[in-house]
Amino acid sequence: MKDANIKRIVIAGGGTAGWMMAAALSKVLGAKGAGGAGIEVTLVESEAIGTVGVGEATIPAIMKFNAQLGIDEHEFMRATQATYKLGIEFRDWGAIGESYFHPFGRIGFDLEGIDFHQFWARLKHLGDSNGLDAYSLNTRAAYASKFVRPEPAHGQVINQMGYAFHFDASLYAAFLRRFAEGHGAHRIEGRIEHVEQDGETGLVRALKLDRDRTIEGDLFIDCTGFRGLLIGQAMGADYHDWSHWLPCNRAVAIACERAGDPVPYTRSTAREAGWQWRIPLQHRTGNGYVYCDDFLTPEKAEAVLLDNLDGAPVSNPNHLRFQTGHRAQFWAGNCVAIGLSSGFLEPLESTSIHLIQMGIAKLIALFPGTRDAPVERAEYNRLMEDDFRHVRDFLILHYKATSRKDAPFWDQVRMMEIPDTLTQKIELLRSRGRFFKYDAELFDLTSWLAVAEGQGWGPQGHSPAADRLSESNVRQSLANMRSVYAKTIDAMPSHQAYLDKYCKAAGETLRADAA
């Protein structure tokens, strides 16, 4: 195998990961036949092999991916039955009966160059009963079921909002397929029977398909899901198991009829041995129970989920098995794993699609000149491991910070040892509300503060810098903020009205079996 320039990229597997990769490569690098740089992008998938298809909730970073492709937001939403997402409501995570909201936008306004939450913490410990929600436009809009897309002309308050989407993952993959093929990507229907490797270098040379077909390539992208057909089975990349920190290892998903207008947020409700998601789309509601099978059987999990649906089921239960963690190598030889083949962190904070996006962005930034690219490969693996580790620590916080003592599962996660990186972050935040974002860490102060405070692990003190202003001045400033937020919410259209005006999907284009 000659070490020539990369001219042929072969993506093994479709679904969300495969078609996100195909869309990005064909657009950014220029697919052969599309007036680009002459790089040929080929995606191999089999309709006989199903996709997981449950990643329906996203975080704000997805907007950057769509924008880089030049995708019109409203067109994308109509095509995917999408709704807006302002954050996540967590029920029963700290203690049964309690709830809190993790918003995507900023909380409050800084005063005199000092973080807002330091003044809020100061008043809290003086007896003020206003929680963080009172100063979050996202939270207040979510619970009022209001939405308007921030625009430059809207001013400082509206532009505090951040948002993401709920969408049908199968429809998103189909949308991106049309986009990718329109930019020169080529799809081949077929089942991969064997991965052919060079006898000397070990690099992947070709994919052997059914009906005695061979697809040769220079760079291979493994989007074969949990199987890891290329990265694991062929390239032998080991798996780093994180289930001792994130023990949930199964899920059951099902779609049900839409019950009323969709709200602009995801809901996560803690259950006996894990948690249940609720994701409202335009045409249906996605539901699932993520759990640990050491404490719950699949049959019981399915029964609990069915008992807690808002409407009649419109699909069959889809049972999934997974192991939290990641590949020891995300990029091995000339094979890059994207999506579930690279690793999996449970969908508690809707990060699965984001990690796909990060893998794609880093591959494009480090795109190799030749098949064997040790320098680029090493940096890619380092960066992706950092991404996974940062998300891992934030997810662990949700479990560790519980006060629940009603079930063995919650006893286990409450008492578990946690990574040193997380311990340091928690101690800084709990003492005086200090927070530092490491490297390109995904979740910022708002996220950590919302979860920690929501589960009873919020700041126990405040920075001395927040004492610069008088108490009366601080109280008045925060009262003014609450008033401004209330008036802004009153003036916003309802979420449903905004969807009807700009993003309403045409007809019943759903696939009822897509859970």
**Active-site residue set:** 85
- CB atoms inside a 10 Å sphere around CB 243: 14
Instruction: Give strand pairing partners of 44.
Output: 12, 188
Instruction: Give strand pairing partners of 31.
Output: 39
C-alpha to C-alpha distance for 27 and 284, rounded to whole angstroms: 32
Report the SS3 class of residue 280.
strand
Q: What is the DSSP letter of 388?
A: H
Instruction: Give strand pairing partners of 87.
Output: 103
Angstrom distances, CA of residue 124 to CA of 121, 129, 130, 448: 5, 7, 8, 18
Helix (H) / strand (E) element for 510: namely: none
Instruction: Residue 284: name the closest of 32, 20, 453, 56 by CA.
Output: 56
Q: Ramachandran region of residue 130, left (φ > 0), alpha (ψ -120 to 50) or beta?
A: beta
Q: What secondary structure, in 3-state letters, does 111-141 show?
A: ECCECHHHHHHHHHCCCCCCCHHHHCHHHHH
Helix (H) / strand (E) element for 287: namely: strand 284-291
Which residue in the block uniquely carries the two structure tokens 């007896």?
127
C-alpha to C-alpha distance for 100 and 143, rounded to whole angstroms: 11
In angstroms, the first-to-last Cα distance of the chain is 43
The answer to whether 404 and 410 are in contact (CB under 8 A) is yes
The answer to whether 201 and 310 are in contact (CB under 8 A) is no
Instruction: Residue 200: name the closest of 380, 369, 371 by CA.
Output: 371
Which residues, 6+ apart, have CB-to-CB distance to 449 below 8 Å? 107, 117, 132, 429, 433, 435, 458, 459
**What is the phi/psi pair of residue 397, to 5°?**
-50, -45
The answer to whether 327 and 228 are in contact (CB under 8 A) is yes
Report the SS3 class of residue 226.
helix
Q: What is the DSSP letter of 210?
A: G
Which residues, 6+ apart, have CB-to-CB distance to 116 below 8 Å? 107, 108, 109, 110, 135
Q: What angle do CA 119, 120, 123 make, to 5 degrees?
A: 90
